[in-house]
Structure 1
Amino acid sequence: MKEKVQNKKAAVLQAALGLLSEQGFQGSPMSQIAQRANIGVGTIYRYFSSKEDLINDLYIDVKTRLAQHTLGNYSASRDVHASFLVLLRNIVDYFIENPAELIFMEQYANSPLITAATREEGLRMFAPVNHLFERAKDEKLLKELPMEMLSTLAYGSTISLVKLKLFGKVKLDGATIDAGVDAIWDAIKR
C-alpha cells in the first residue's frame, strides 16, 4: 500500500514538474496536473495542501536529486581545483540530462512561493559545496569577493553553460564543456 502511495505522489511531482516547466505557475492548474498524473484532483490534496505546498515539495525533490548527482563522485580529499571541476561538471551533466528540472529551478529558485524552510533545506543539501568554497577561501585560492558573490558567479556561469548546450546554436562536445567548466574556475580563482 505504501508503494502505491509513493507512486501516486511521484506521479504528481513528475506531472507538476513537466507542466510548471512548460506553462508556469498560473498556467498549470491542479486539474491539469491531476490529468497528466492520471489521478483525480482530490488525490493531489491527500499529499499536498495547496499548489504552493506541491511546488515546495517539488523544489526539495529536484534539489535532492541534483545534490545526489552533484555530490555522487565528490571527495573532499581532492585538491580544491579538481573538486570544483567535478562538482561543476556534475551540475552541467545533470541539467543537460534533465532540462525540465533546470527550467523549474530557474523559475522557482528565487520565487516567493518557495518558503524559507524549503530554501534552508535546499542549502543544507549542498553543505559540502559550501565547505569547499570555505576551504578554497581559507587556502587563499579565490578572489577577494564575498562568498555569496563567488558562488553566484560560479553557479550562474555553470547554468549559462548548460543553457548554451541545451538551447544555443553552438554544438558543445565533452571536451569543450570541460574547458568551459575550467574557465568558470578561472573566473573565481585568484
Structure 2
Amino acid sequence: MKKQLQVVVTGGPGGGKTTALDLFRRELNDKIIVVPEAATVLFSGGIIRSDNKKVCKMVQKTIFQLQKNTEEIYKSQFPDRLLVCDRGSLDGLAYWPDTESDFFENINSTFEQEIARYDAVIFFESAAATGHDISSNNPIRNESSKQAAQLDQKLQKIWSRHPQYYFVASSDSFVRKIMFGIMTLENVLNRYNKI
C-alpha cells in the first residue's frame, strides 16, 4: 500500500498561503484534501488570544493536539488523497513563551518525531519580511507587520530544518508569488505521487 503523502504549507502571517491553498484546492480538488489550520478553528470558536504565559501555553498545547488529531481524521476519511496541511504541528513552537525543550516536554514529543510527520514543507514568506503591507480581512489575524516579520523568522528557523524544505519568497507581485507557490506545491506533490 502506498504511503499517504502529508505536506505542510506554512509561513508568517500575510504570506499568501491561504490564497494559494484555495487556488490549489480548486485546481486539484479530487486529488488533495486541505487540512484546516487548527489555530483558526480554535480562535474562531471563541478562544481569546492572551499574553498570560500559562494561558498561552494551554492554548498552544490545545492547538498542537487539535492539529495532530485533525490530520489523523483527514487521513482516515480521505485515504486516497494527498494531505496538504494548513500549518503543521511545529508552528506552535514559534508562539511558545518558553524554551524549545519546554515546548517538547509539554507536548510529550520531540522535534524529530514532529518533523517526520511531514514529507515536505512549503514555506510562504510573509510580505512583512520585505516591508510590504499585510492588512487582511481575516478577523482572527491581528499581528502587526513587525510581529508578522518576527514570527516569519521564527517559523523559518523551525521549518527550514526539514530535509524537504521549499521556500516561496515574498515578491512585489503577489500574483507571481502565488503562482510560484502553486507550482512549488505541484512539483512537490508530483515528486512523491503522480497526479
TM-score by length of 1: 0.35
Which has the higher relative contact order, 1 or 2, with Cα contacts under 8 A spaced 6 or more apart? 2
TM-score by length of 2: 0.34
Query: Which structure has the bigger radius of gyration?
Result: 1
